Amino acid sequence: MVETKVAPMTFKLVGEVKFNKSRTHRYELMITWKQPAKKLAMVITNYPGQSDGVVMDLTTMLVVNQVSALGFDGVVMVNLFSKLGVKGHTKELMEGADSVTDQVILLAANDVSQIIIATGSFPKQNILAAERQAEIIDSIKKAGFEKKLVFLCDSTGKLAHPLATKVRKKWMIIEAPKEANK
């Protein structure tokens, strides 16, 4: 039998979560895999899932995988709606963001290299989501971060969410897809 030396690779995955005091809103989930993390991406999705810094849902795992493949040191995940348990119903969405949600997004936008809108078709299907996304994009632009702003799209240029099957293996990032301006 040939003896093979195994050299273990060591890395440190660091997670940080920002909740409100009652833990009804998750404002930010930051995961870094290079320390210190110098190049961060912000990914804006629709509403928070089950990820809490220890538990990871499928969206979070796909985002970490793809943001890492894009060469970033970490990701800051935020959402159009910060309230936990939101599933897209009008009444829930009306209470889905509070005054802190946008403040956290803008503060984090200052520290990231790129802001990726990854909301897929949800804003096209839901007027409240469309209004909310427009508000966030407008505030990002007003804060002077327009050059950091990009959109997650599939290979046809259609806006995508990280769970979309067409983008699970590889992300295509576009600065201003036509669909985003509608």
Instruction: Report pLDDT digits (tens) over 131-176.
Output: 999 999 999 999 999 999 999 999 999 999 999 999 999 999 999 7
Cβ(81)–Cβ(134) below 8 Å: no
Token digits for 141?
């632009």
Separation of alpha carbons 74 and 40, rounded Å: 5
Q: List the chain domain ranges.
A: 14-181
Cα end-to-end span (Å), the chain: 65
Distance CA 140, CA 137 (A): 5
* Residue 132 DSSP symbol: H
Neighbours of 91 (CB within 10 A): 8
φ and ψ at 155, to 5 degrees?
-65, -15
CATH C-level class of 14-181: alpha beta
* Distance set, CA 110 to CA 52, 105, 153 (Å): 23, 9, 24
pLDDT tens digits, residue range 9-24?
777 889 999 999 999 9
Q: What are the tokens at 72?
A: 């970033």
Instruction: Look at residue 10 in the predicted model and tell me its pLDDT.
Output: 76
pLDDT tens track for 49-60: 877 777 788 999
